[in-house]
Amino acid sequence: QLKLVNPSQYRFEHLVTQMKWRLQEGRGEAVYQIGVEDNGLLVGLSEEEMRASLKTLRRMAEKVGADITVLREREVDYDSDVPRKITEVLVRKVPDNQQFLDLRVAVLGNVDSGKSTLLGVLTQGELDNGRGRARLNLFRHLHEIQSGRTSSISFEILGFNSKGEVVNYSDSRTAEEICESSSKMITFIDLAGHHKYLKTTIFGLTSYCPDFAMLVVSANTGIAGTTREHLGLAMALKVPFFIVISKVDLCSKATVERTVKQLERILKQPGCNKLPLLVNSDDDAVTAAQQFAQSPNITPIFTLSSVSGENLDLLKVFLNILPPLTNSKEQEELMQQLTEFQVDEIYTVPEVGTVVGGTLSSGICREGENLVVGPTDDGKFLRLKVCSIQRNRSACRVLRAGQAATLALGPFDRSLLRKGMVMVSPEMNPTICSVFEAEIVLLFHATTFRKGFQVTVHVGNVRQTAIVEKIHGKDKLRTGEKAVVRFRFIKHPEYLKVGAKLLFREGVTKGIGHVTDLQAITAKENGLEESLGPGQLSF
């Protein structure tokens, strides 16, 4: 927008309507640049005009029920004696019906690079003491506290309110309060860095469908251990990532610069083709957030310290402005499909019964809805009822596509459930299979890869050992070769979809690909009717 000085009533209404539409497109967020012509020419406004324009923008935002924050101001060299400025403003709408923007960020990096500590500092709001105090609240098991290593997947939340201020546990808030006062929530998925827990890390990346990944590299060790592998995983699964270099308080400037150079060299390699963008100021952070969402080739790099707090604010600015990847139109299309919920975690909660955690990949799920869950070991689907839904530890009535939540299933028998199952609406008639074909690329293998080889296959939230039954057109595969391969699950059938991304591993063998064909066994043939008794299929 060039300027918004004292518009007429009609023009004001028009501007408000336009703002409403923009907020809806950006799922509750929009960035306005004031002092820029429609064709992108940077004209700039004088002090008075800018003040009047911001006043109008505030009036517009109030009318829509949104808040505005000034992201940055810049002076422009335009032929005039008066200094002229451009201002960028973030407009964020206070969410109706608790529809906050929800972004999921997976946290990757080598063991001891400072992932859990960084999350502790961001979500607890106090700096680390240099001995790992900040991360104690993140650990889920006793052995993690003793060894200081994360072995399970934990979730941490960081909120931003509509004015762009950080909402975290610092003011002794509970998780429910954070959800209530935030208009944007960032869920960090803290994954394990140690090689031993690689399968947990892969599961976290494939089943929780993160929007972005944050790769943490320690400044004093540089790129070591599993860093490259995690970088490769993020690229193979096409998750856009940004990099945080931590522990800069421990090193000299030269060491930090060496680590940055090392990263830039790797990112510019032909395999990566990324454009590194080092963030040194608030201005850079704003640019990085906008560029990063538009082109996945940009990789912002932050250098910060969880102990001294240096540059921590830049990361917060970046996370605050980071827009969601899908726009509202794509989400609505997903919501119109049939319900499908991926089961990633299973708990038993006293007085509630069985609870499952996971992500709703399509459709809408409401409290009290009847769904079927499966496939069981013999390929059946069982009926169940959703008793209540929680998102980020606060109750919620309706779950929409793409959101993660926990569903309480009441007295349903926990032993019938396992990770990798799906809960779908009964009319979907889901297809399950034991044999499937996939087009794969063998990333690394010590000898040759041939028929009869056993690998662990990860597809979304499914992970199971499978046998290679046939390699089309070849006897064996070597590192770097492509082929279509037929796999057979050895234990039980699974619910898969054509086109789903696939990762497999066995010791040092690794490969990626996508599912191309399924040999389906429909659930009906497999006795959905018997398990329900005859004539009960019409719900």
Quick: pLDDT tens for 428-471.
878 899 999 999 988 877 777 889 999 999 998 898 999 999 99
Q: Are 460 and 503 in contact (CB under 8 A)?
A: no
Which amino acid is present at 314?
Answer: L
Closest CA to 155 of 113, 109, 83, 210: 210
Residue ranges per domain, the chain? 9-93, 101-325, 329-424, 432-520
Rg (CA), the chain: 25
Closest CA to 247 of 131, 139, 168: 131
Q: Are 122 and 306 in contact (CB under 8 A)?
A: no
Dist CA 532 CA 106 (whole Å): 40
Dist CA 352 CA 354 (whole Å): 7
Determine the pLDDT at residue 134: 67
pLDDT one-digit tens code per residue, 65-86: 888 888 888 888 766 677 888 8
The CATH code of the domain at 9-93 is 3.30.110
pLDDT one-digit tens code per residue, 111-122: 888 888 898 888
pLDDT for residue 256 is more than 90: yes
Q: Which CATH architecture group holds 432-520?
A: Beta Barrel (2.40)
Which amino acid is present at 525?
Answer: E
- The model's confidence at residue 531, banded by pLDDT at 50, 70 and 90, is very low
Determine the pLDDT at residue 326: 67
Dist CA 385 CA 425 (whole Å): 11
The CATH code of the domain at 101-325 is 3.40.50.300
339-355: burial string, b at 16+ Cβ within 10 Å, e else: bbbbbbbbeeeeeebbb
Topology alike, domains 329-424 and 432-520: yes
329-424 CATH pick, 2.40.30.10, 2.40.50.140, 2.40.160.20, 3.40.710.10: 2.40.30.10
